Amino acid sequence: MDFSREELLIGVLARLLEGMGHIAVGASSPIPGSAALLARALSDGATRVTMLGSTRDNGFTDGGRELFDCAAQGRIDAFFLSGGQIDGGANVNLVGKGDYPRSTPRFPGSFGSAYMYFMIPNVILFREEHSPRVLVEKVDFISAPGTSPPSLWRRGGPVALVTGMARFSFDRHARRFRLESVHPGNTVDDVTAATGFDFDRAPAVPTTPGPTPGMLALMRGPLAARIAETYPKFADRVFTDRMAAT
């Protein structure tokens, strides 16, 4: 491959963000942040990006409260969530493993994950690690539910799950994931063995396409410089050598 694993994931996420008007990215999210910036570049500026932790790409002046207000007003189209555990119903666990409140180990905490899950129409679940300990049959604690009863009003929810091995879509009516593509170097059998929940799939599952030359040029050029403002170590590790070779 003439692209790195991180560049592949950035390209996958950027394609999922195509056509989004306003993308918000939380803290400690270099790959989703890079994907949002790439989606904006590919949209010729039609897409707005709000990236917490950034000075240049964050127009909020009141931190998380302004982010939540914007989401409640319907002014954010896409957001990313992750979790210590994610199950086949797209439920997310950010609290810990085992019976609450005696969970061991403890995860970072839910913060506003459930709120954002309900408010933002297109939530992409992203976790690099793809293993049975992360992708479980049923989460030990529901920090943010993937679906809700029909009687409960809800604007937002999951549309996709992207991991280091594959890309899934999510059917909110069936409450199930569907395997859409397998990243280069992996097989459907690999994905099945590493996934703790059942999922749907077509008889033939394609390989995830890599980033185009144009995408790579943007990543290794203006995007690398832009993301370095918020994530300098990530930019140096992922892009520096490739920028020199480009």
pLDDT tens string 95-108: 999 988 888 888 98
Entry field: residues in the chain: 246
Mean pLDDT across the stretch 124-137?
98
pLDDT of residue 245: 54
Averaged pLDDT of the chain: 95
Q: In what order do the strands lie in the sheet with 158-163?
A: 48-51, 22-25, 78-81, 122-127, 158-163, 166-171, 176-182, 200-201
pLDDT of residue 104: 87
How far apart are alpha carbons 39 and 191 in whole angstroms? 27
Lowest mean pLDDT among 50-59, 128-137, 154-163: 50-59
The H or E element that residue 105 is part of is none
Mean pLDDT across the stretch 39-66?
92
pLDDT of residue 129: 98
Per-residue pLDDT reduced to its tens digit, 81-92? 999 999 999 999
| Residue 100 near residue 140 (C-beta atoms within 8 A) | yes
How far apart are alpha carbons 92 and 39 in whole angstroms? 25
Give the rounded distance of the alpha carbon of 92 from its chain centre. 12
Stated pTM of the model: 0.95
pLDDT of residue 62: 81
CATH of domain 5-245: 3.40.1080.10
| Residue 97 near residue 87 (C-beta atoms within 8 A) | no
Dihedral sign (CA 4, 17, 177, 135): positive
Mean pLDDT across the stretch 188-196?
98
Please say if the pLDDT value at position 244 is more than 60: no
pLDDT of residue 50: 97
Mean pLDDT across the stretch 215-236?
97
Instruction: Determine how β-strand 92-93 pairs with β-strand 122-127.
Output: unpaired
Give residue 64's pLDDT band: very low, low, confident or very high (50, 70, 90).
Answer: confident
Give the whole-number percent of the chain exceeding pLDDT 70.
98
Whole-number Cα distances in Å, 77 to 5, 24, 69, 109, 127: 26, 8, 13, 24, 20
Mean pLDDT across the stretch 177-201?
98
Please say if the pLDDT value at position 175 is more than 80: yes
Beta bridge pairs of residue 177: 170
- DSSP helix/strand/coil, 226: helix
Dihedral sign (CA 60, 65, 71, 77): positive
